[in-house]
Amino acid sequence: MGENERPARNLSVALREMRRIYAATGLEIHTITYNDLEGRYGQTLAVPQSTEALCTDMREAMSEAALPGLNVAVVRHYAQGGLLGLSCGIPGFPSRPDISNSEVTVAGFLLAHDPWLFGSVMAHEMGHYLGLFHTTEFHGLLHDPIDDTLECHWSQDYTRDRVLSADECAEHGGIYNMFWSGPQESDFLQHTVTEGQRFVLMRNPMVETY
């Protein structure tokens, strides 16, 4: 495979992964379009220095381009280490004619190393923008308000590092796409979206229902 073919193939894999996660809930991702951000926005969004500046620049860039739908920007990486994606709102403001408020970002370096994880992170951040919270936060003290999502509590912190990993919570919600982090040692996929989460997604004005 040539060097020019690999990015396109990896993006195709990532989009297929993202579509698979939403398809399991009965939600279909319609037309996907691609646009390059150039000029000032292209430079500042390549390596965002802060989440606040990122969301401001994203909002301005998307509105200037008048891009409808839910916009996903691929950045190289974040200045804040360890961040894989970001949603500018939970839920975020829906787009309106000539005003593109909707934006989430994903770290582009993932695309070369793990396109499946890239697709999962993309689905996760889109879920935030459409109204979903983490099912369990890293400390195990906060959980989403949805009745049918399992909760993982601090008693599962087997390593006693005060951080609940997806591996430790595998049987307590670690398999959810909206768990706060991905697995480190296990190879399970975080594809699961519950009926309660689907209920929330379906009531977002950006989701078309028929």
Q: Where does the pLDDT of residue 65 fall: very low under 50, low under 70, confident under 90, or very high at 90 and above?
A: low
In whole angstroms, give the CA distance from residue 164 to residue 159: 9
pLDDT in tens, 36-56: 777 776 676 777 777 777 888
Token pair 């929330």: residue = 200
Tell me: the pLDDT tens digits for 75-122? 888 877 778 999 989 998 887 655 566 688 898 889 988 999 999 999
Whether 205 and 125 share a structural domain: no
Question: Please, are residues 193 and 26 in contact by the beta-carbon 8 Å criterion?
Answer: no
Residues 111 and 199 in one domain: no
pLDDT at 67: 64
Residues 79 and 19 in one domain: yes
| Top-confidence residue, 65 or 129 | 129
Q: Per the structure, how many domains does the chain have?
A: 2
Say yes or no: 69 and 111 in one domain: yes
Same domain, yes or no, for 111 and 172? no
Same domain, yes or no: 57 and 139: no
| In a shared domain, residues 50 and 70 | yes
- Regarding whether 59 and 14 lie in a shared domain, the answer is yes
Better-predicted residue by pLDDT, 20 or 45: 20
- CB 179, CB 84: distance < 8 Å: no
Q: Same domain, yes or no, for 19 and 39?
A: yes
Q: Based on the domain organization, do 8 and 98 belong to the same domain?
A: yes
Are 208 and 157 part of one and the same domain? yes
